[in-house]
Structure 1
Amino acid sequence: MNLSPLPLAVFVADADGAITSWNRACEKLAGYTADEMRGRTLADLVEFEDSAGKQAAIQARVDTDSLASLVCADGRRISVRVTVAPQSLDPEQPGSFSVIVVPRAGTAPSRYALIQDLPVNDIIEGLPCVFYVIDQSGRLLLWNRQLEEALEMPSEDLPTVEVKYFFDEAHRAETVQKILEAFETGSAWHEAELVGRRGKRTTYLFQCARTSVGSLPCVFGTGVDITMRKQAEHVLKVHERAIFASVNAICITCCDGPDNRIEYVNPAFERITGYTLAEIKGRDPRFMRIEGCDTEEQQRIHDALAHRQSVRVVLRNARKNGEMFYNDLRIDPVMNVNGEVTHFVAVINDVTEARHYERRLHHLAHHDPLTGLANRTLLQERLKQAIQFALRNRMIGALAFLDLDNFKHINDNLGHDVGDAVLREIALRLRANMREEDTVARVGGDEFVLVINDQNSPEQVADLVERIRRSVAGPVEVDGKEIVAGTSIGVALFPRDGNTVDKVMRAADAAMYHAKSLGKNNCQFYSNELNRMVHEHLLLEASLGRAIGNREMVLGYQPKVDLRSGRMIGAEALVRWNHPEHGLMGPDSFIPLAEQTGLIVPLGEWVIDEACRALKALTMLGVEDFVISVNLSLRQLRQRQFVDRLGDSLRRHAVPPSCLELEVTESLLMERPDEAKAVMARLKALGVQLSIDDFGTGYSSLSQLQAFPVDHIKIDRSFLGGKVDNGHGVITRAIIALGHSLQLKVIAEGVETREQLLFLRNNDCDQMQGYYFSPALSEQGLADMLHRGVTLQA
């Protein structure tokens, strides 16, 4: 049997080395005819170069690569490489062997010699492309079956048609030019569409080269079907054009480990952000984010990219000019053929105008167009939230209905334009008197509603509402005219007067109409009992203002005693109100009211001036180095001219500054510590003594305490209550030790028993005050006790 023609020299030998078959390449390489090859053995044709030589059995050379010489018919020896392989796949069954002979470098015959025996016809017909040979007349000399199928023509018709007519008329000239180019330069290539006889169109990439058949010049070539590729290119071009023309910004990034670098942005991106591709290519898109803004959305993007997932968020970014814009962002991963994410495509939709429009619509839907205040819809939402907050936190809230008393008269007599101007001014005044977290609404022509959150007491609500009533009752100037509107106010407290929006609004509305029925321009609470309390509170406020000017205030002086010597060294000034109707009132009944209304400032100035006058009087009696302490409020400390006015009082009464001690509670200092430190430093520079009152009840740290330039700390009376050997005694000892470690004097207040006194002495407390030694005295009583030299007895 003969082997199929191959370009390699191959023969088959049996187990004894006898050659049983060979191919034509073997005859060509060795120079033997077929008759000469018959009967020869492996040893006749091949001389191996290893030590085994010809004697080695063929089985010993299986799966080896040996160097040898091929003995040719003319006696030449060609250096070859020999590979022996069993023809049977089962090594247990010995049979014949394939012997493959490959010439070593420089010894192989020409390519032509090896390929001339190839079955050319089979190869051409089996090509995965069209094959053709064209002569100089532009007609086919040779072609394969694939060309016939593409042109939908039988083989006998192909030579009768010029090649150019196989193409659409629009491309015939280009096709002829490419064929001529191949004849002239040796090769050419082009893309074109073959048109079949029945309309079939197929796009090919043609590559051709010049050759000759005998003495006849011709061009041969191949055409690869690129229809699918062209369709894909067309789709890509459509997509690219769509991306280019999109009104939305598109950014394509490449995944590079944890980073995503910009590869492409479309013109819309450049228009929206202000950045060109040249400026930002290779950068991470995060450079546009606004630090500290929309952190949750940014984290969602980070997580999605890390997990190679899609994500959509709305967040704020910064344009190149620094302007902020709202970005409706959609990011999707792009995978390669292996399913690996290589890119991300981000679509950016600038929704800034839409967001602003939504806000405008929301504002119009929830606000009164004339005044800009909340309307009824927003009022009910805010009131519902306020009631729920009050219920959860056990706080007091209030709803106040305000109805302008004279508005109909204003509209009827002065016109609606003037009426609108009055409403706008009233709205401004209401907003000015309310906190940011409260709500001011207009629900009718001349009806306003207030939602007041987070109040400590009904009295605090009453103060606020009364302040608002006075503000609204003030004259409004419009076109040179002064107009007084006046208002009746009804107030309901929640959750006391109702725990739903409807109940609270009904209660406030009823209270408002009750106020109108009582003569207008007044405030009424829903509860009769509360009305009485509020009425008394307002009367008290009004009379407190008069009391300062009418000298109804008096000072009592509670002595302070040095615990080591027992000598009286000072006193705390305690203000009392000698009310014409209620008699002598302690500070707890009016000081909070003075704080709320701001009357604490003039009252505090009077106390300081009166204490300085008392010090001067004691000096005239021969009392020296006696210190009177005065309590200060935070409102006083915040007065810009407080230190200067204090200095004026000391100079006016010729009192040494060291004889005046100012006491500030620990909790007040901690409210605004930096502001308090600055004021106290100025007071210290003035020469007065400073003390922290109620020490141990606030939340100051040791470092903060050290920063205040104080001389004394006062142990709050609560730490001496009950038995001193309980837990309070431990705290008191700690405060004394702390004060001494900071070089401060420690004063205990509220000492009422001998047991407490002994405890303080045993723990080295410096001073005390309290009923055990003496209650508060009048100025005359204090002078008498000093004159008598009364001392503390153990």
Structure 2
Amino acid sequence: MLIGLSSYAAFYQREASQKQALIEGYYLDKLPRLESEWQTEAEQIKARIEFSRILENTADLRWAKLNALLNAQWEFIEFSNLLILDGQGKVLFRFGTEAHALNNIAVLSSGWLYASDRGEFYQVFQRPLWLGQGGQGSLLLLKSINNAVLKKLEIPETHLHLKFDSALLASSSALPKGATPFDSSVFSGINPHYVETALSWPGSDKLQLVIQREIHASFPLPDFLLRPVLAVVFVAILLWLGLGRWLQSTVLRVESVSAAASRFADSGRLRLAESELEPAQSRKDEIGDLALSLQSLMQIVDTREHEQKAYLGTLALLEEAVLELDCDGRIQRASPGWSTLAHCDDAVGRKLDEFIHVEDLEALHTQCDSLIRGMKSHIGMRLRLGEIDGLMHNSWLECRFVSYWDESGKVAGLRGVLRDVTQTYLQEKQISHMALHDALTGLPNRVLLEDRFKVALRLASRTVHKVGVCFIDLDHFKNINDTLGHKVGDRLLQAFSEVLNTQLRAGDTLARWGGDEFVLLLPDMQSEDSVRETINKVREVMQSPLNVDGADLSVTFSMGVVIYPDDGEEVETLFSEADRAMFYAKSQGRNQVCFFRDMTSQGIGKKELYIQNRLVNAVNSQRIQAWYQPIIEASTGACSGVEVLARWHDDELGWIGPATFIPIAESIGLIRELGQQVWLASLAAAESWQRQGLTLSIAVNLSKRQLFTPYFTEKLLEEVSKHQLSPGSIILEVTESVALLDVEHAAERLQELQEAGFRIAIDDFGTGYSSLSQLHEMHVDELKIDISFVRRLNDPRGLSMTQAIINLARALNLKTVAEGVEDEEAATRLRELGVDYLQGYHFAKPMPREDFERWLAQRNKS
């Protein structure tokens, strides 16, 4: 007995040491990985905020948007509090209770925060955060280390406690009552014991994780001592009493098998049943084999029960419900998630129809019937919860059902998974609305307008009615932005759209085209007179001043009107004609309404209209040519690149100058197509020169419509990649007036192009009205000195102006290109002033690609 006790104590001590080593090794590995997960989550939150680009907007509304974004993603965020600081450490935004209560931000520099008044301990994660125009800021994330965190870290038979300077902060759970620390010197083998170890939390010496592991003997002491005692007693009795006692023990063994089976059947406790089987397993004979078989069977049954309980427990943690229905739609089984979704605890035995909205029952029955009849193997749908036990629920469920069969091969019922997608559904509706409406005014955008326009045209073609399309542009809107600010301008646009909307019919559409441009769609009009009456009514109403922030602002507008089918039958044609009519209204002094048919019937600009029609045909038939004028490096005289220019030769009119057809293309909305032809031709030429080993940059002009086209940068990069060119070899030229038309948006687009690798040049510099501050905000690489300055080099004032432009460019680290160099004297004077590149007739005129290649070969040879 003493030897057995000694051996058992040694075994118990070894087991305690092993368990202590295991839990220490486990948490030494677990804590760094947990820390890494939090670091990763912090990076993801930072990435989400930067990807949303909310903070790049300087408006105060960005904080409300950011707060809404964080609330929408709350359940996916590990951090309960966050702060956003600017570059000087000033708090810009707080999220969470602790973040709002925190007064001294400096305490966060240590990486830890202990809120003694609430007994909360936080780990602080700091990440740099781009604030747009605000520059580089900081994102501070506070991760609460509390009971819930320790509960997640807890493994079976362990109890975790978090201490800071010996003060207990949090605990996962308490030890069993009466448990004492394990001590081999006073070991009794009866009372519960535990081992304890303390680990420093990563990144903090004062924060300790105390781990307590329960010690349960894998083999109870009585059972451990029972074997040798029984064996000795059994041998002694067998020796003394012989066969009779052996028969008696055999009977007892058989009874132990029966008792074990009964005990397991009644209680389901494997340990007790196995202890009952121990007498039967004392010998390896038929009874022992029977006991082993029974024990194996009980273990299998016990394992299956534990697995089933584990699966059910895991299923209860999910935010999804699992249902099993019979062929009549009656619920046979339901996971705990269904009680949460349906707010009902007695769903079993009731029909699923009782929980579904009446408007969705037909769809549910149709889909389920297709499963029961074998027409489908699975179905998926969205349903709404209806009135349940007198309460109406507005939840949306995403359902997936499959059928299962009985032994005869017939469908026995349905099994399905249901989850709440209410938030997803609402977000999809919001995203759909945002994709089809203007963010500022809430009006339909171009996508929705074009869709409604096509519907209106189809309806008009059947009813022989007319459709009016009105392009509206506010007069002198830029002056309002410049004098009163963009915020007042935005509120003016909102007030304008609200007042105009009140005068429209239910089927009319007012859409924002962009900037201060609107489009009014008047479908199902009886006649042209009806269109004119509606427009006159709108004009009369809009004569009254608009109230903006308590002040009355008088606003006029210019409108161009076309009528389907009188002026055209295609959507693009009607839009183009309405745009032209609107521009004509502006040219007539603004505050005008111009009908496209009035323009043509009065004979206004007939020659221009003829050129327009010829230009449309030329653009559609790809007859716009790309010509190339060399750009010479001033210091070496080498040809470093070319400027790509558009040229048009008409079969009837001959050569038509770009000063004539470029403005026409802009007014009729063809400048993007024209520019695209020149752009693709220049890329093809550059690709050919690159294969020949020539290193030439190409300078291509951009129009206003091209620059502000959605996804413009992505399209350029895709086309450049197709021709195997580098964006750095391409110079995109924007005129000074276009670049400064809308400084904020132009600067953003130019920065986007520059970050993509393109070089940016300001063309015709000095002819606009830019200020030094505006020029400093533009992300450009070159200034092109206008020809008007080059031609006045002999004039002292012209020379001083050119020198000032060159000095300004140097101060801003910009290259300079002088246009219109027509003689060697001007070229020499410009070199002395420090111009980087020269361009003009003195070197070569614009020429077709073949002529340029011959010119370049001859120049390189000479």
Q: Same fold (TM over 0.5)?
A: no
Higher normalized helix content (fraction of residues): 2
Where on the TM-score scale, by shorter chain, does this alignment land: which range?
0.3 to 0.5
Q: TM-score, normalised by structure 2?
A: 0.36
Q: TM-score, normalised by structure 1?
A: 0.39
Higher Cα Rg: structure 1 or 2?
Answer: 1
